[in-house]
Amino acid sequence: MPQVTKEQIRRAKQPDLLTYLQAYEPQELVKVSSGVHCTREHDSLKISNGKWCWWSKGIGGRSALDYLIKVRGIAFTDAVLMLCDGRRAHRVPCPMDTEAKRKLIELPKAYVNNDRITRYLMNRGIDRSIIERCIADGLLYEDVRHNCVFIGLDGQTPKYAMLRGISSKTRFMGEVQGSDKRYSFSLNLNPKDTRLFLFESAIDLLSYISLEWVRGAQSNSNYLSLSGVYRPGKNAPHLPVSLERYLNKHRHIRDVVLCLDNDEAGRIATGAIRTLLSDSYVVQDMPPPNGKDYNDCLMAYQQLNQKSKARGAKGAPYYFKGDLVR
């Protein structure tokens, strides 16, 4: 095995990734916005301010040397010699890529019908028509254990599945083994719309749409669930991987509406996402006007609406506290 000197290592650490790619692999560079690039091979690998970060994998660095070792999977000594000799790095299989290809999702077996989960979701206030649409589109089904199975698709291929138990005795939430969180549950009622509404859970997402419909409002946009609580890193906050992938794929999105929970975790997540996106998107905060989440809000609104109608009124008043102008 060839040896490298301290001087060679010092020289190899000098070029940043952007400089290296501009010199040796310009075809790999894709401009995202002013001062920000990604690579053609990995659209979640962002390069800016002399640093790079592969958001979907949670790794990053400063130098081209870091990139060749961590992303390309090149041995340290070989990478040092390539940079010192001014040679382009040959593509080698990335161990992380190979592992991801082996890790395939295995969806639980479907039950003969979806009656139980339909009743469960309707009891939580969700409109039957939106439930039936999700079932028809392959985004939702009932498994043999009578759990709700919320599906995240890559085109027509399931890549993510979240289980939600519906029994009061066995109520739980959990991801199906092999799930790729980049493809969490989403619903595009109008793919041409430039807005994206972001929620913590699939039920909150469906609750918001149902709340709009029960009010007689038009809910015709794009909706994404984070499939859980998002906790930004303390030292280097980063976007949730599902949001990162969605925005990279749907470049027409201009407005991101944050509909996260009214608890401490939801407010922290909202602040972090707003900070990270504010340079490139119009970001609006629209938490549920009452209750912890949008399902709480939907249930409360329907109860109030029923009482109002029982008294002969037209319906319950409804207001958003967020800064979104509706």
Three-state secondary structure of 36-73: EEEECCCCCEEEECCEEEECCCCEEECEHHHHHHHCCC
Residues in the chain: 326
- Asked if 39 contacts 28 with a C-beta cutoff of 8 angstroms, the reply is yes
Instruction: Pinpoint the alpha helices (H) of the chain.
Output: 6-12, 17-24, 64-70, 76-85, 95-102, 115-123, 128-136, 202-214, 241-249, 264-277, 294-310
Instruction: State which H helix or E strand residue 162 sits in.
Output: strand 157-165
> What per-residue confidence (pLDDT) applies to 83?
85
pLDDT, averaged across the chain: 83
Tokens of 229: 């609580």
C-alpha span between 76 and 65 (Å, rounded): 8
Class of domain 115-310: alpha beta
**Which run of H or of E encompasses 283?**
strand 282-285
Domain with CATH 3.90.580 in the chain: 6-102
pLDDT tens-place string over residues 246-270: 999 999 999 999 999 999 889 989 9
Low-confidence ranges of the chain (pLDDT < 70): 1-2, 56, 87-103, 169-171, 218, 233-237, 308-326
Whole-angstrom distance, CA of residue 202 vs CA of residue 225: 5
Q: Could you tell me which residues come within 8 angstroms of residue 176 by beta carbon, excluding any fewer than 6 positions away? A: 105, 106, 107, 108, 149, 160, 161, 162, 163
Could you say which DSSP state residue 176 is in? P
Q: In this structure, which CATH number among 1.10.10, 3.90.580, 3.40.190, 3.40.50 belongs to the domain 6-102?
A: 3.90.580
CATH 3.40.1360.10 maps onto the chain at: 115-310
pLDDT value at position 153? 93
